[in-house]
Structure 1
Amino acid sequence: MTSLDQHASSSAAARLDRARFGRPHLKILSGSGVGWALDAMDVGLISFIIAALGAEWQLDSATTGWIASVGFIGMAIGASVGGLLADKLGRRQVFAITLLIYGVATGASALVGGVGALLVLRFLVGLGLGSELPVASTYVSEFAPAKIRGRLVVVLEAFWAVGWTAAALIGYFVVPLENGWRWAFAIGAVPAVYALVVRWTLPESPRWLESKGRFAEAQTIVDRFEHGSVAAAPTASAAVPRAGFADLFRGGLAPRTLALWSVWAFVNFSYYGAFIWIPSILHAQGFDLVRSFGYTLIITLAQLPGYALAAWLIEVWGRRATLSVFLVGSAISAMLFGTAGEVWQILLFGCLLSFFNLGAWGALYAVSPEVYPTAVRATGAGAAAAVGRIASIVAPLFTPWALGVGGAPLVFTVFAICFAIAAASAWGLSELKGRSLA
């Protein structure tokens, strides 16, 4: 156990761990989940938009690959910076700011007249998105009762499927229209408005408040989560020592950090390499734009049952087993999808890939904040996400190149190998099913 792990749980943290799930928890989950869904909608939209822009602007695959990848460059930077800021400024503050940044940048993308301006704005979008995702999962995990913490974070991640489905619907009904991609970007500006909701209606994390010595504020918030029933009197515990990036490798945390980074890197590479390009791959195989978008919509819907099963299993099997099994399922599905030729095969194996991969994402987001104590929780989750985003920068550039070399079988064989490596790496993570956060 590290020195940070040995920090005694404050009364507010203990009360949150044993609290019953109620309306305040639902407000945190739904409020964060809407932000999460809006994130997914933005990331999902670009997969449809680059297919449309490729045809309208007569772009080559390298250029469309960069339109996708530049956003992930921003996400890599944003994930690491956002985590550090969330540990210094607070979870809610950074959550709201990042929603505002990427919402405004997405809306402005509707007005661009060329690739250069679009690349700049997609980078800014990535900064906001990359900062927001690890902060949101940390935020929810710090409010969740210990017995259902993993399940609630998987439910939060399930909002990703809602957002990606919304992107697929917009891609199917809006993007094929004249200037449809501009209207799609305009719709993506909604997070800028939602940022105000987050800033003024959601509370700050009591665990973070106590880590800064703000005990009275923390206790007041916890009181609301216990419906006015105070389970324990406030104690004058010391604030958690300030910590930074280097602490992710101290006091026994290094093995956890390296294992988590490995899972994030290989899952990101495979997921974004596949799902950003699926509409374009189908279009290249001879399906018209509307049909390829329609098939992608069907494949996307399979994400929801994947999340549902992962949310149940994560408190039954535990984090590592659930994550590993879903990653093995992703590897097998990727191999099958790479060889699919008939429409029924594309839909079946695509749905299986979507089901297993997004279930794995749910488990990964649940386990990531748990790996670290409060002082470096958002920093650790953000650093892992940043490593993953580096892999996701490469993936959209790798896919069109590999398609030219060996077609879909080569591409999805590589993705299957990456999923298998991630499944093995998952066993290097700590198992905290039902246990209190440090």
Structure 2
Amino acid sequence: MNVDTPTSVSHRADTSLDTAQLNGFHRKLTLFSSGGPFLDGYILSIIGIAMVQIQPLWNMSTLWAGLIGASALIGVFIGGAVFGAVTDRIGRKLMYTIDLIAIVVCSVLQFFVTNEVELFALRLLIGIAVGADYPIATALVTEFVPKAWRARLVGGLNAMWFVGATVAAFVGYFLLRSPDGWKWMLLSSAVPALLIVIARTSIPESPRWLLSKGRREEALGVLQQTLGEHATLDDLPKEEGETSVRTLLKGGYLSRIVFISVFWTCTVVTLFAIYAFGPQILTLFDLNGGTDEANLGYGLINLFFLVGNVVALLLVDRLGRRPILIGGFAVSALGLLYLAIRPDSGLWMVAIAFALYAVFNGGPSILEWIYPNELFPTEIRATAVGLCTGISRIGSAIGTFATPWALATLGLSATMYIAAGIALIGAVVSMFMAPETKGADLHVTSSLA
């Protein structure tokens, strides 16, 4: 088993998963696990720019534009809902590489598409692979890292979504200068996916998952190789239980599913619509520079999203989960509300309002993965993350599909009012349902007791 030798190992006999010092293996695991969200952000963002060329080239209808924009999100719903449960049954490690191999293959095939049906099918398959990676990668990081770093590292995975989207925005901006730039945009995701697949082969199975299956000796072996020879499992519960979606539909776990699914949906509906059709949306505002300025502004909005994630990561263990979530929804709604009221206010005010929305969206965004991984036990963790991912993507797929229709039929202002209303719903639901898990051990946050 090829893992890093710990760079900082305590020689106390009670070194454990929750109390360990952060070491080189934790950093490597987090970096490699961030490849999935990086690819998700890249794949969804790049299609928004590629569509600038594809729509007129293929004389694409509004229906097909919505379907292709939503196709990866539909795939994420399928992948998360199905493969989260599979991951809880067969383990994290095997699925950790298979899903990205599928992304490599489908990304290459996108270069050769000639019509809407082919592009829709391939992006659907890519979305399934991305959806499968969410519960796998987040569960692995959650189950390995010490509690003092859990929120920052798990939330940091989501921040990599915005890194991917930002990189894609600027790659797409330069590739638009070529008549066949859209082909290279869609192909380009194969490069980081291949590198991540190779890197992930060195990551071992989760010791918490092994323990949940009664494989104590294997779990202890992995722990000692990643934390040092004095590592122990003594502070962890055995966590052997039923691995079933039925477990998630009982009592307190059902209310947790409802809370996470609602706030996650409210976070991503507006976010994904803006990413899929960002250049087109910005073009509708009164911007003097036209399409070029809109595309460049799209890249800058991506940077604001990333800044918001970084700020939220720095504050989440100081302020707590609830304030970051509720405040993030409330302030981002104000930015969208201004865009609805004054869509003709000019470049700088539009930029400030979008920046306000994007920066404060960072709080709900990082908690999309912190909360579901903290609130469910090991034997159903990936199932829960996958199920919540799938449910949220139903709403985001509908929102992305409906965005071109709403812009054409209802107009820009009405579309922004709807987006602001969705953010406000997230704030209200979070006020009533969001728990505080700051500083608690993982087996405590996931317990119903």
TM over 0.5: yes
Gaps of 5+ in 2: 1-12, 444-449
SS in 2 for 1:178: coil
Q: Is the 8 A contact 1:96 1:198 kept in 2?
A: no
Instruction: Report the TM-score, using the length of structure 2 for normalisation.
Output: 0.89
> Against the structure 1 CA distance between its residues 312 and 33, is the aligned structure 2 distance closer, same or farther, given a 3 Å change threshold?
same
- What percentage of residue pairs aligned between the two structures are identical? 29
Q: Is the 8 A contact 1:176 1:289 kept in 2?
A: no
Distance 2:234 2:428 in 1: 43
Q: Is the 8 A contact 2:78 2:128 kept in 1?
A: yes
1:435 to 426, 434, 440: 440
Q: Aligned runs of 1:399-418 on 2, under 5 Å? A: 399-418=403-422
1:302 equivalent in structure 2? 304
Distance 2:239 2:321 in 1: 29
Q: Is the 8 A contact 1:176 1:290 kept in 2?
A: no
Which moved further from structure 2: 105-114 or 340-349?
Answer: 340-349
Query: Which letter maps to 2:335?
Result: S
1:76 equivalent in structure 2? 77
Q: Is the 8 A contact 1:101 1:192 kept in 2?
A: no
Q: Is 1:396 the counterpart of 2:400 in the alignment? A: yes
Q: Is the 8 A contact 2:36 2:130 kept in 1?
A: no
Q: Aligned runs of 1:364-375 on 2, under 5 Å? A: 364-375=368-379
CA shift at 1:315, angstroms? Answer: 0.5
CA deviation digits over 1:77-112, x for unaligned, max 9? 111112111101222322211111122212211110
CA shift at 1:177, angstroms? Answer: 1.4
CA shift at 1:173, angstroms? Answer: 0.6
Distance 1:324 1:107 in 2: 41
> Against the structure 1 CA distance between its residues 73 and 34, is the aligned structure 2 distance closer, same or farther, given a 3 Å change threshold?
closer
1:204 equivalent in structure 2? 205
Q: Is the 8 A contact 2:39 2:193 kept in 1?
A: no
> Against the structure 1 CA distance between its residues 412 and 225, is the aligned structure 2 distance closer, same or farther, given a 3 Å change threshold?
same
2:273 equivalent in structure 1? 273
SS in 1 for 2:178: coil
Distance 1:148 1:426 in 2: 24
Q: Is the 8 A contact 1:303 1:359 kept in 2?
A: no
Gaps of 5+ in 1: 1-11
Q: Is the 8 A contact 1:92 1:204 kept in 2?
A: yes
Q: Is 1:230 the counterpart of 2:230 in the alignment? A: yes
Count the aligned residue pairs.
426
Instruction: Report the TM-score, using the length of structure 1 for normalisation.
Output: 0.91
1:382 equivalent in structure 2? 386
Q: How large is the Cα RMSD of the aligned pairs?
A: 2.2
> Against the structure 1 CA distance between its residues 152 and 199, is the aligned structure 2 distance closer, same or farther, given a 3 Å change threshold?
closer
2:253 equivalent in structure 1? 253
Q: Is 1:363 the counterpart of 2:367 in the alignment? A: yes
Q: Is 1:348 the counterpart of 2:349 in the alignment? A: no
Q: Is the 8 A contact 1:50 1:67 kept in 2?
A: no
CA deviation digits over 1:359-389, x for unaligned, max 9? 3211222112111111111101110110011
Distance 1:210 1:33 in 2: 25
1:190 equivalent in structure 2? 191
CA shift at 1:189, angstroms? Answer: 1.1
CA shift at 1:17, angstroms? Answer: 0.5
Distance 2:394 2:14 in 1: 34
Q: Is the 8 A contact 2:97 2:201 kept in 1?
A: no
Q: Is the 8 A contact 1:215 1:234 kept in 2?
A: no
Distance 2:195 2:242 in 1: 31
Distance 1:237 1:143 in 2: 15
Distance 1:26 1:17 in 2: 15
Q: Is 1:131 the counterpart of 2:132 in the alignment? A: yes
